[in-house]
Structure 1
Amino acid sequence: MTDNDRLRRADRLIWALNGITAVLVVAACVGGSFHLAWASFGVVAIASALLYAAGSFYSARKEQRLASALLCTAQFVLFPALAAPLSYVVASAALPLWDQTFASWDRDLGLDWMGWLSTMNNHPGLHAIFAAAYSSFLPQAAVVILVLGLAGHLLHLRLYILSFIFAALITIAISALMPAQGVWGYFHLTPSNYPNITPVTQQLHLKIFDGLRDGTFRELVARGAEGIITFPSLHTAGAWLFIFAIWPVRYLRWIFLLLNLTMIGATPVDGGHYFSDVIAGTATAVVCWIVAGRIVHGLREEISRIENSPSIEPDMIPNSAGAVFVPVAESKPRIIA
């Protein structure tokens, strides 16, 4: 299978997953009590269509790097606009809350959430750095897509997009079965508990989350949706995927590593997550990266190609799981997926 074949296969799967997600959201409106804010979805649809058209234009001109950057941006713009409403739909199942269990898991692991909040509150300057890192999620996603596309890491770019979609769908599915309101609601926190800082999320999602569970909130929006998933943490999964994705780009890998480790450290307080959410988000990222890698590259073929390559000066880049390092050529970074 050629690289072009892999690119086409990955793109077909990514668009198919977007389509399946859209069908599920529409079905929740046609067969249920939800309704769409059409104007919100229209803006996203137009933006994605324009990006797709521009990408197709440059693809016809054989400018594959720019074409990939535009096409993958179109994919990424569309998917969150569909996935966020889907997370609202599954939350309406209103299954029993798992907050007590997640808090218990933290205690069993010796992880003190209130102690971490106190640390952030006692060091507001440090917290400001953590909060900025936590808020960098969307800008980082845009940078990863543009950099990988323009730098020519076209298969790696699809690997990133596909692994993110998998991670989002898995977290949505698990959140339906193991819903939680998060630490702000469970611990009944108020600003008096953290007078020196302003965490990013706090209780922003609780009104919507509670409304989805009791039936009083039924509007689905493509833009401006609140993150309502607690377990696993999608922010944590996304942070690891940013690290894995950007690693072949030598001049950015260490910046992204530091930035995203800081984001992960910020997730309990600024995202309102239990530590167990962070651990589960890490596991989700690793699994999704490996599975997406198998699809995009083909595990056996890729291993065979690397084993048969000539011995040269090694550089160190992460494998698909981002945890084991293998020597490969600096001029031709490879990912075992």
Structure 2
Amino acid sequence: MAVTRDRGDSRRAPLLWPEECLFAVALTLVAGLALVTGALSWALIAVSAVLVGALVAGFALARRRRTVAPGALALDAASAGGPARVARIVGGVARTALPFLSCLVIYSSLRTITPELDFPLVDPALIEFDRAVFGGDVSRWLNDTLGSPALTLFMAICYLSYGLSQGAYAIFSYLRGHVREYHDFALAISITAVVGYSGYVLVPGVGPHIYQTDVYADPLPGHEGSIGGALDAITAVQGPARDLFPSLHTAMTVVLMVYLWRDARRLFWWYLPIGLGLLLSTLYLRKHYAVDVLAGTALAVLAVVVAGRVNRWWYRPRVDPPAEAARSFAPSPRR
């Protein structure tokens, strides 16, 4: 969608994206928690400064007129040539990836922050819920019923794909020129992340593999072989983090599958085995309780609904009031 400079069109393009505003607030709050607990990192400072600076600059430039064709959401990289085109493409890709970089920085920060807060763990309540609804520990049943080295390997691969799929699809959508689709997806992921990270702080838990060592004293099938390295890497990345409720592996995967179904049906069918495997892996690998997965699914549905409504409002056509008034008082053409 190309940006136009037609004087007859006085619509304004938003200078900031809603996901940028959301993450500017979220990163500021996380930086405050990090400062209180002494877990402040340079990565958190840098990303927070970039997003907050962009937010301030956007408000400072809010009165600067930018006219766009109706429905355009961002600059069209193809409208420029030579170095300007390359710079615009690189800048667009960097801006597209910024929300997902923010997710990474916030999660890595919370790995250190949440243990320092020392809030009581909610694992007992989550275990009680699972046993009341499902009649036992779901992860234990999956391991005993379906467990095998081959399945463990597949589950580990699916689980590790979580950090790559969302960002790759976002950049893919943006570079294809599907700007509306990108904005809906990116905002839904951002809402999911911010709400989910709030759950990590307010509802802290460590998961079955740490809290229920008596139930899961046996290693997963295949752990003794080469698969054990991947499983140990997953555990090492998680560390002592309270990253349990809701399951963001579930929530972000469901969000991705919803938008793949809506906007890239062929990719949806290719991704479906990995997506379903990722959802199952949260339980099979003993990382989450079933209630975490249910909460993650509900969060994904909420994020998709809210993102669509927010974007329709955020990117609605904005008309310059003086221009609108001038058209109102302009004489109508004669027949």
TM-score by length of 1: 0.68
Q: Is the 8 A contact 1:201 1:271 kept in 2?
A: no
User: Cα offset for 1:66?
Assistant: 7.3
The corresponding residue for 2:306 is: 291
Are 2:284 and 1:266 equivalent residues in the alignment?
A: no
* Cα 1:207/1:74, change in 2 over 3 Å: closer
Give the whole-Å Cα distance in 2 for the aligned partners of 1:139 and 1:28. 27
Give the whole-Å Cα distance in 2 for the aligned partners of 1:14 and 1:283. 20
Give the whole-Å Cα distance in 2 for the aligned partners of 1:182 and 1:283. 19
Aligned alpha-carbon RMSD (Å): 3.7
Q: Which moved more, 1:235-244 or 1:93-102?
A: 93-102
The corresponding residue for 2:14 is: 8
Structure 2: which amino acid aligns with 1:291? V
Q: Give SS of 2:287's match.
A: coil
Q: Is the 8 A contact 1:159 1:293 kept in 2?
A: yes
User: Cα offset for 1:249?
Assistant: 1.5
Written as runs of structure 1 = structure 2, the 5 A alignment for 1:1-337 is 8=14, 11-30=16-35, 32-38=36-42, 40-41=43-44, 58=77, 61=80, 68-86=92-110, 88-110=112-134, 112-121=138-147, 123-188=148-213, 192-197=218-223, 198=228, 199=231, 203-204=235-236, 208-209=240-241, 228-247=242-261, 248-270=263-285, 272-298=287-313
User: Cα offset for 1:237?
Assistant: 0.5
Q: Is the 8 A contact 1:130 1:262 kept in 2?
A: yes
CA displacement 1:110-169 (0-9 Å, x = unmatched): 263211123453x21122112111111122123211221122221121111111111111
Unaligned runs of 5+ in 1: 49-54, 210-227, 302-337
Percent sequence identity over matched residues? 21
* Cα 1:143/1:262, change in 2 over 3 Å: same
Give the whole-Å Cα distance in 1 for the aligned partners of 2:107 and 2:238. 19
Give the whole-Å Cα distance in 1 for the aligned partners of 2:269 and 2:173. 16
CA displacement 1:290-323 (0-9 Å, x = unmatched): 1111101259x9xxxxxxxxxxxxxxxxxxxxxx
Q: Is the 8 A contact 2:199 2:245 kept in 1?
A: yes
Unaligned runs of 5+ in 2: 5-10, 52-73, 317-335
Q: Is the 8 A contact 1:83 1:169 kept in 2?
A: no
* Cα 1:7/1:117, change in 2 over 3 Å: farther
Q: Is the 8 A contact 1:7 1:155 kept in 2?
A: no
Q: Is the 8 A contact 1:233 1:281 kept in 2?
A: yes
Q: Is the 8 A contact 2:160 2:234 kept in 1?
A: no
Structure 1: which amino acid aligns with 2:308? G
Structure 2: which amino acid aligns with 1:194? L
Q: Is the 8 A contact 1:239 1:264 kept in 2?
A: yes
Q: Which has the higher contact order (CA 8 A, sep 6+)?
A: 2
CA displacement 1:246-302 (0-9 Å, x = unmatched): 221132121123321111011113361111111110001110111111101259x9x
Give the whole-Å Cα distance in 2 for the aligned partners of 1:152 and 1:159. 14
Give the whole-Å Cα distance in 1 for the aligned partners of 2:173 and 2:152. 30
TM-score by length of 2: 0.68
Structure 2: which amino acid aligns with 1:180? G
Q: Give SS of 1:282's match.
A: helix
Structure 2: which amino acid aligns with 1:16? C
Q: Is the 8 A contact 1:134 1:266 kept in 2?
A: yes
User: Cα offset for 1:196?
Assistant: 2.5
The corresponding residue for 2:69 is: none
Q: Give SS of 1:288's match.
A: helix
Q: Give SS of 2:37's match.
A: coil
CA displacement 1:192-245 (0-9 Å, x = unmatched): 343533446675367534xxxxxxxxxxxxxxxxxx311110000011111122
Q: Which moved more, 1:62-71 or 1:161-170?
A: 62-71
Q: Is the 8 A contact 2:120 2:204 kept in 1?
A: yes
Structure 2: which amino acid aligns with 1:295? V
The corresponding residue for 1:309 is: none
Q: Is the 8 A contact 1:246 1:253 kept in 2?
A: yes
Q: Is the 8 A contact 1:22 1:82 kept in 2?
A: yes
User: Cα offset for 1:78?
Assistant: 3.2
Structure 1: which amino acid aligns with 2:140? M
User: Cα offset for 1:179?
Assistant: 1.4
Structure 2: which amino acid aligns with 1:186? Y
